[in-house]
Amino acid sequence: MSADLAAVDPADPADPSVPLPGPTLDDIRAARERLVGVVDVTPIQGSRYLEELLGAPVRLKVESLQRTGSYKIRGAYNRLSQLSPEERDRGVVAASAGNHAQGVALAARELGIKATIFMPIGVALPKLQATRGYGADVVLHGRVVDETLAAAGEFAERTGAVIIPPFDHHDVVAGQGTLALEILEQVPDVANVVVPIGGGGLIAGVASAFAQLEPEIGRRVRIIGVQAANAAAYPPSLSAGEPVTIITSPTIADGIHVARPGRLNFDLVQRTVDTVVTVDDDDTARALLVLQERAKLVVEPAGAVGVGAALAGSLRVEGTTVFLLSGGNIDPMVMERVIGRGLAASARYLKVRIPLPDIPGQLSTISAVIADANANVVEVLHTRHGLGLQISEVSIEIHMETRGQEHAEQVLQHLREAGYRPYLDTV
């Protein structure tokens, strides 16, 4: 699914005579000066696999290797560094389940500001430990992020602490926009940039910077946003011409699980982003697998959605394309599940159910058929209970490794030719 921004009320958003809201190019350049010595200039890496897939040169901007494991330190530090002495004395507060929390915590530590971070109960242990490790006071509150946000707001009212928003703020957007300056220096011929979208702070900063750089570089850099299909508030918001709140569903891309765009972010996206596409969790899981195997990179699901869109065939590009891998903070337990999901989505891990006569020797026979097809059995479950089974039948569930879609089809065909009735199941 995609939202072509050229089709959304072109008279107002596309009018170049109307100044862009939010940070100017000078603001973004000033933010970059503030970030010198604080953030890393993260590397650019090629990808032959994606180049062959897209038919265009591909570069990966590996912001997953940034301090705190994501781009969030850019906007957080830029915001905190501009607080007045009186505001610094009051301290700062933020609410986050992960990357924003770590960005604010580290920025506060670097600037000598007391930080209180509200995180939801059940937050991933590595993110909790990292946030505390950067020196922040962490308060666990609420089962959902809305409850956590409300608690942070109450804390700010009670103590006077300054709230640091995750995406909808001029200084935060300017900090994230520094990535555009790095990308242009590292990839001078960049033609397209593919950016994950949650609330929109990252893409607003990057797209706004490139739009303002256009007169200097003499060409248009196309900006493509990618959202998780289960939390895609931008397509309906762009169609409505204003931010709307959607009902979301769980997604492995929890870092961009946002139900409503930021106001400033939306205005900038509407003016400067070319296309927004969505990607489902299976393709995002496949993307994590590709990035680990082909690029040797650990990337969190939210940071891999752009690559997921490429694997899904949702991107049409010409010229050098940069994929912004926005973060690498993934819980090892989640990684294990996501890799399994990616293997299944790539047909490299099959789970099949097969009804069998309840007589000795069947498991040995069926294992030989699978072995002859060069697949590897990794787990077997056996039951006499199940809908659709005859009283003289049992059901066997076999998990096996294959080499991809074509090989998986060959294994299933071998089973059918041997007289079995395999039913493909999901992992």
SS3 string of 238-255?
A: HHHCCCCCCCCCCCCCHH
Burial class (CB in 10 A: 0-12, 13-18, 19+), 112: exposed
Give me 177's structure tokens. 């926009």
Which CATH number characterizes residue 127's domain?
3.40.50.1100
pLDDT at 211 > cutoff 60: yes
Give me 141's structure tokens. 């509150």
Q: Residue 275: its pLDDT value, please? A: 97
Same domain flag for 158 and 21: no
Nearest to 167 by CA among 131, 199, 189: 199
Q: Residue 3: its pLDDT value, please? A: 44
Nearest to 203 by CA among 172, 245, 236: 172
Asked which of 320, 343, 366 is the last residue of a domain, the reply is 343
Same domain flag for 261 and 295: yes
Same domain flag for 323 and 208: yes
Same domain flag for 184 and 318: yes
CA 115 to chain centre: 26
Same domain flag for 17 and 54: yes
pLDDT confidence bin for 11, thresholds 50/70/90? very low
Catalytic residue among 81, 96, 314, 326: 326
Q: Give the full edge-to-edge strand order of the sheet including 376-383.
A: 376-383, 393-401, 349-357, 423-425
Same domain flag for 114 and 152: yes
Mean pLDDT of 204-212: 98
Cα dihedral 90, 96, 97, 98 sign:
negative
Q: CA–CA separation, 227 vs 199, rounded Å?
A: 10
Q: Residue 6: its pLDDT value, please? A: 35
Catalytic residue among 47, 61, 64, 72: 72
Dihedral in degrees, nearest 10, Cα atoms 100, 106, 110, 115: 70
Q: Which residues pair with 394 in a beta bridge?
A: 356
Same domain flag for 52 and 86: no
Q: Residue 153: its pLDDT value, please? A: 94
Q: Is 72 a catalytic residue?
A: yes
Amino acid at 309: A
pLDDT confidence bin for 9, thresholds 50/70/90? very low
Cβ atoms of 208 and 178 within 8 Å: the answer is no
Domain boundaries, position 400: 347-425
Asked which of 343, 363, 392 is the last residue of a domain, the reply is 343
Q: Residue 235: its pLDDT value, please? A: 97
Phi-psi region of 68 (alpha: psi -120 to 50; beta: other; left: phi over 0): left
Which CATH number characterizes residue 383's domain?
3.30.70.260
Same domain flag for 333 and 386: no
Amino acid at 109: R
To the nearest whole percent, how much of the chain has pLDDT over 90? 67
Same domain flag for 297 and 236: yes
Same domain flag for 331 and 204: yes
Mention every residue, 6+ apart, whose C-beta is less than 8 A from residue 152: 93, 94, 95, 116, 118, 163
Same domain flag for 373 and 300: no
Q: Is 351 a catalytic residue?
A: no
Cβ atoms of 323 and 60 within 8 Å: the answer is yes
**Number of folded domains that form the chain:** 3
pLDDT confidence bin for 168, thresholds 50/70/90? very high
Identify the residue with better confidence: 404 or 182: 182
Nearest to 304 by CA among 332, 334, 318, 283: 283
pLDDT confidence bin for 333, thresholds 50/70/90? confident
Mean confidence (pLDDT) of the chain = 90
Read off φ and ψ for residue 63, nearest 5 degrees: -75, -10
Mean pLDDT of 70-96: 97
Identify the residue with better confidence: 335 or 236: 236
* Ranges 23-27, 178-182, 274-278, 340-344: which has the least confidence: 340-344
pLDDT at 22 > cutoff 50: yes
pLDDT confidence bin for 386, thresholds 50/70/90? low
pLDDT confidence bin for 155, thresholds 50/70/90? very high
pLDDT at 262 > cutoff 90: yes
Q: Residue 265: its pLDDT value, please? A: 97
Asked which of 343, 365, 390 is the last residue of a domain, the reply is 343
Read off φ and ψ for residue 66, nearest 5 degrees: -70, 160
CB-side neighbour CA atoms (13 Å) of 238: 26
DSSP 327: B
pLDDT confidence bin for 17, thresholds 50/70/90? low
Nearest to 125 by CA among 331, 339, 329: 331
* Neighbour tally for 21: CB within 10 Å: 17
Same domain flag for 193 and 281: yes
DSSP 230: G
Identify the residue with better confidence: 15 or 37: 37
Q: Residue 7: its pLDDT value, please? A: 32
